[in-house]
């Protein structure tokens, strides 16, 4: 069944007939390179993808909010007068945070919304930012709050913070400002960005999900961020910087002795060098040099494994199988790496269209042999950001 029809039918079965529905979509995102540096003032290079979350929306005449997700068959109900965190509301707390932040700006009424998506939850494709962006865009549109796309992204980031996830700006920015067939080169310190055509030619983006489940808040994400902040504090004693990614690699090597502990030093080293890899990768993609882009992706994964310690056995097994497929089939793969917060989640690979199905079969088999887990694969298309359908 078409997912849009599924969402509309699900809404009518759950909430009944009534006034005309409005239908919205928010995409997930995959980050091609530039990992764990959005909160360090670095450059990231994500794109929105066609996997995401759909929502059918209808206003109510009271102040009640009723939410239903077809993915988990879960109903959440609360009112505009009770927007504080409540453990029993689970995923609905993300929505409550978005609603409370929008309510500060303009009157909102009650509403009901049925959501359903094809984006794997907890896989590193930004399912929470996708959800936040869906509701922020829908409410901003319906109630004519008047936010810019960048303001919505910042609001969604704040909603994540309210729910205990100290995330950077990349995820809500990509979900909200993505453009079909383009990646976003985003400076996370200034929010300056450039839309760069994804000139992949005969190659495709293949996302592989480890199906090793982890949540962003409990995946030591916040711990890594604290370690970077400790490194930054030490460096600021000897050099005038606001963010780790203000440093060039040469400047980092000159001043890294100021970082007192080895672990924060490793985290900082990753951030500084990853920032420059991202610059090089975006330039290479612009020039159509997929070989150089691919080498940067592999170097990124190794740094995330060796210096940032966010890969884990399952994710590294999937990377290794993808990398070795490329070694054994020259020209079939231009780069592979983990994407997202890590500790599970997904890899992203650039694979020739004629090799895609063989890649999926052989990499999947090798991954299962090593882990006893079954990976899911998606040949991704690059999508627009959140929109009304």
Render 78-139 in DSSP notation, one character per residue.
Answer: EETT--S--GGGTTHHHHHHHHHHHHTTS----EEEEEEE-SPTTSSS-HHHHHHHHHHHHH
Q: Please say if 354 is a catalytic residue.
A: no
pLDDT score of 277 more than 50:
yes
* Other C-beta atoms lying within 10 Å of the C-beta of residue 28: 33
Tokens representing 333 are: 């793969």
Cα separation of 136 and 129, whole Å? 10
Model pLDDT, residue 215: 54
pLDDT tens digit sequence for 287-311: 989 999 999 999 999 999 999 999 9
Mean pLDDT of 31-59: 94
Mean pLDDT of 337-354: 91
At 260, the pLDDT band (50, 70, 90 cuts) reads very high
pLDDT tens digit sequence for 7-22: 999 999 999 887 789 9
Mean pLDDT of the chain: 92
DSSP 9: H
pLDDT tens digit sequence for 124-178: 667 889 999 999 999 999 999 999 999 999 999 999 999 887 778 999 999 999 9
Q: Report the percent of the chain where pLDDT is more than 90.
A: 78
Please report where in the chains the tokens 């990614």 appear, as a residue: 245
pLDDT score of 1 more than 90:
no
Active-site hit among 38, 171, 234, 316:
171
Of 28-42, 69-83, 217-231, least confident by mean pLDDT is: 217-231
**Contact assessment for residue 103 and residue 79, using Cβ atoms and an 8 Å cutoff:** no
Tokens representing 314 are: 């399952």
Give me the domains of the chain, ranges plus CATH numbers: 3-198 (3.30.230.10)
Model pLDDT, residue 217: 43
Model pLDDT, residue 20: 85
Model pLDDT, residue 297: 97
**Contact assessment for residue 38 and residue 170, using Cβ atoms and an 8 Å cutoff:** yes
Q: Report the percent of the chain where pLDDT is more than 70.
A: 97
Model pLDDT, residue 164: 82
Burial of 102 (0-12, 13-18, 19+ CB in 10 A): buried
3-state secondary structure (DSSP) of residue 274: helix
pLDDT tens digit sequence for 69-109: 988 888 999 999 989 988 889 889 999 999 999 999 998 99
Model pLDDT, residue 97: 94
Cα separation of 178 and 43, whole Å? 16
pTM, full prediction: 0.90
pLDDT score of 333 more than 90:
yes
pLDDT score of 64 more than 70:
yes
């Amino acid at each position: 069944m078409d997912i849009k029809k599924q969402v509309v039918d699900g809404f009518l079965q759950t909430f009944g007939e009534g006034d005309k529905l409005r239908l919205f979509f928010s995409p997930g995102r995959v980050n091609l390179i530039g990992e764990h540096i959005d909160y360090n003032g670095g450059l990231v290079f994500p794109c929105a993808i066609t996997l995401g979350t759909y929502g059918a929306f209808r206003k109510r005449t009271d102040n009640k909010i009723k939410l239903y997700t077809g993915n988990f068959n879960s109903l959440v109900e609360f009112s505009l007068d009770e927007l504080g965190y409540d453990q029993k509301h689970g995923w609905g707390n993300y929505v409550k945070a978005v609603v409370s932040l929008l309510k500060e700006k303009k009157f909102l009424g009650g509403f009901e919304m049925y959501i359903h998506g094809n984006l794997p939850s907890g896989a590193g494709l930004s399912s929470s930012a996708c959800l936040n962006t869906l509701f922020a865009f829908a409410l901003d549109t319906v109630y004519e709050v008047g936010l810019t796309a960048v303001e919505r992204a910042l609001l969604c980031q704040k909603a994540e913070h309210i729910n205990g996830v100290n995330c950077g700006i990349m995820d809500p920015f990509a979900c909200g400002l993505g453009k079909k067939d383009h990646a976003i080169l985003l400076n996370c310190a200034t929010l300056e960005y450039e839309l760069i055509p994804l000139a992949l030619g005969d190659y495709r983006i293949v996302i592989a999900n480890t199906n090793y489940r982890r949540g962003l808040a409990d995946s030591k994400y916040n711990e890594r961020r604290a370690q970077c902040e400790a490194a930054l504090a030490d460096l600021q004693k000897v050099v005038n910087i606001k963010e780790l990614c203000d440093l060039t690699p040469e400047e980092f090597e000159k001043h890294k002795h100021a970082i007192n502990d080895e672990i924060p030093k490793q985290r900082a080293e990753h951030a500084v060098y990853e920032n420059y890899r991202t610059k090089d990768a975006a330039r290479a993609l612009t020039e159509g040099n997929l070989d150089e882009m691919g080498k940067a992706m592999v170097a990124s994964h190794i740094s995330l494994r060796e210096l940032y310690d966010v890969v884990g056995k399952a994710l590294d097994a999937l990377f290794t199988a993808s990398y070795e497929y490329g070694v054994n089939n020259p020209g079939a793969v231009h780069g592979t790496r983990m994407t997202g917060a890590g500790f599970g989640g997904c890899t992203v690979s650039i694979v020739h269209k004629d090799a895609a199905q063989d890649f999926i079969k052989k990499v999947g088999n090798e991954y299962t042999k090593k882990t006893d887990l079954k990976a899911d694969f998606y040949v991704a298309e690059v999508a627009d950001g959140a929109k009304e359908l």
